[in-house]
């Protein structure tokens, strides 16, 4: 009886969690190879960081649920959501493949090595667990999995079927992906528009097209496509969709509506650091700096060395009178990203507010050179030139 209990404890606290970890690493390793952004693994939950201990290994984050008996479930989340179809297929497929490889290794050991009966029983049950992981994930299941943030996904097999459908996309889609990955967002938008025109209306096409237009600061077209996307797929919007919709509204001057979208994005994903930063930025534009600072602090806590959030919190602190702390944040932001036009603009605003209009103009012109479409920059340039003309 004691041996039976010890076996169950061993299985559910070590062996079963290990198979889950191997499966999720199967997803996570290709994600790290294919992207330069963060990859998060959840062991023992479907995306819940609470009641978990965190391990950070470079761009890889792991959240281990403290309740080991929950470790029969796991989730791998990529921050990047615009991978080419072939890479997405590899990402999804490698989870089951990792489980299968472990299964085959265990099968080989069981057949070829003369273990004691007790060890053999453990390995057989361990092997059954790994085969279960493989078949449960690779056989398509129409029943969705509800994640911690309320959104749903399907198992690996069902996702693979959906991705294979994308292989039938017109050539314009592949060309658009190539342009997008090479940061030629204008050309990417042209190709994705062709895909929509041909009647393909999957969410990823709208998402990529909206993102491309936002990258080139074409807010009118981003708004147009987002309206179509909302009409077609609004009921299935995820946190990133609401974040993009909020950004479009922020750039359009609909600040209160933008805040509502960011609230929804954060409700769906409390770890969406971009949503926190964008909501804080919108509070900054509304001159509600007290509300902005907690958002930036949260964004920075979620993403170390987040240059945009450091820049924005520095600006908010300066506006609230904490000039030394604010300038230190701006300087750190510029060290992390010397091409951020908003950082130069904020330095310019600091000098403008202090009456140093020549210094302000220098920073505004540098921001203009880096990105002529920087939000509100032209207004500050005009005001600065008017002040200089008066002197």
Closest CA to 326 of 351, 304, 303: 351
First and final C-alpha spacing in the chain: 92
Q: Cα–Cα distances in Å, from 255 out to 111, 137, 277?
A: 66, 43, 14
Q: Cα–Cα distances in Å, from 90 out to 62, 75, 141, 296?
A: 21, 16, 19, 35
Which of 246-272 are b and which e, b meaning 16 or more Cβ less than 10 Å from the residue's Cβ?
bbbbbbeebbeebbbbbebbbebbbbb
User: What mean pLDDT do residues 315-325 have?
Assistant: 92
Predicted confidence at residue 207, as pLDDT, reads: 93
The Cα 291–Cα 300 span in angstroms is: 15
Predicted confidence at residue 102, as pLDDT, reads: 92
Predicted confidence at residue 2, as pLDDT, reads: 46
Pull the structure tokens for residue 111. 């057949």
- What SS3 state is found at 84? coil
With 0-12 / 13-18 / 19 or more C-beta atoms within 10 angstroms meaning exposed / middle / buried, residue 104 is middle
CB 93 within 8 A of CB 156: yes
The Cα 229–Cα 250 span in angstroms is: 18
CB 42 within 8 A of CB 63: yes
Report the mean per-residue pLDDT for the chain. 88
18-27, 102-111, 162-171: least confidently modelled range: 162-171
Domain boundaries of the chain, sorted by first residue: 2-164, 169-390
Predicted confidence at residue 292, as pLDDT, reads: 96
Closest CA to 285 of 252, 245, 263, 240: 252
CB 78 within 8 A of CB 31: yes
User: What mean pLDDT do residues 369-384 have?
Assistant: 90
User: What mean pLDDT do residues 56-72 have?
Assistant: 82
Lookup result for tokens 């209990």: 5
Asked if the model's pLDDT at residue 9 lies above 80, the reply is: no
Angle between helices 307-319 and 289-302 (to 10 degrees): 150
Predicted confidence at residue 167, as pLDDT, reads: 77
CATH number for the region 169-390 comes to: 1.25.40.10
Q: Cα–Cα distances in Å, from 25 out to 16, 22, 28, 236?
A: 14, 5, 5, 27
Most confidently modeled range among 12-26, 122-136, 282-296, 350-364 = 282-296
Which of 206-220 are b and which e, b meaning 16 or more Cβ less than 10 Å from the residue's Cβ?
bbbbbbbbbbeebbe
Pull the structure tokens for residue 192. 């994705």
Pull the structure tokens for residue 278. 């964008």
User: What mean pLDDT do residues 191-206 have?
Assistant: 92
126-130, 142-146, 348-352: least confidently modelled range: 142-146
Q: Cα–Cα distances in Å, from 167 out to 80, 160, 186, 198, 267?
A: 20, 11, 23, 15, 33
pLDDT tens, residue by residue, 248-302? 999 999 999 999 999 999 998 888 999 999 999 999 999 999 999 999 999 999 8
């Amino acid at each position: 009886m004691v041996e039976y209990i010890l076996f169950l404890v061993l299985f559910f606290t070590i062996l079963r969690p290990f198979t889950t970890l191997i499966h999720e690493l199967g997803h996570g390793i290709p994600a790290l190879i294919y992207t330069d952004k963060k990859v998060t693994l959840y062991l023992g939950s479907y995306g819940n960081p609470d009641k978990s201990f965190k391990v950070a290994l470079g761009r890889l984050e792991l959240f281990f649920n403290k309740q080991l008996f929950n470790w029969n479930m796991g989730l791998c989340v990529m921050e990047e959501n615009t991978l080419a179809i072939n890479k997405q297929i590899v990402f999804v497929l490698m989870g089951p493949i990792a489980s299968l490889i472990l299964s085959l290794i265990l099968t080989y050991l069981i057949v070829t090595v003369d273990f004691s009966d007790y060890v053999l029983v453990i390995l057989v049950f361990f092997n059954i667990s790994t085969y279960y992981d493989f078949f449960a994930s690779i056989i398509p299941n129409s029943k969705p999995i509800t994640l911690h943030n309320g959104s749903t996904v399907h198992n690996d097999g069902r996702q693979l079927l959906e991705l294979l459908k994308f292989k039938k996309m017109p050539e314009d889609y592949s060309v658009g992906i190539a342009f997008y990955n090479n940061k030629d967002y204008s050309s990417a938008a042209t190709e994705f528009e062709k895909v929509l025109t041909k009647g393909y209306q999957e969410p990823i096409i709208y998402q990529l097209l909206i993102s491309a237009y936002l990258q080139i600061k074409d807010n009118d077209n981003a708004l147009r496509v987002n309206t179509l996307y909302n009409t077609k797929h609004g009921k299935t919007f995820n946190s990133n969709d609401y974040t993009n919709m909020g950004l479009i509204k922020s750039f359009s001057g609909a600040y209160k509506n933008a805040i509502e979208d960011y609230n929804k994005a954060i409700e769906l994903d409390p770890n969406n650091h971009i949503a926190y930063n964008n909501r804080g930025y919108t509070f900054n534009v509304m001159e509600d700096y007290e509300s902005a600072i907690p958002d930036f602090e949260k964004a920075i806590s979620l993403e170390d060395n987040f240059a945009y959030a450091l820049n924005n919190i520095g600006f908010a602190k300066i506006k609230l009178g904490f000039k030394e702390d604010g300038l230190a944040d701006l300087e750190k932001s510029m060290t992390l990203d010397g091409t951020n036009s908003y950082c130069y603009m904020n330095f310019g605003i600091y000098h403008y507010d202090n009456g140093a209009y020549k210094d302000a103009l220098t920073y505004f012109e540098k921001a203009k050179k880096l990105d002529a479409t920087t939000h509100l920059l032209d207004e500050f340039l005009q005001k600065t030139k008017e002040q200089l003309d008066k002197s």
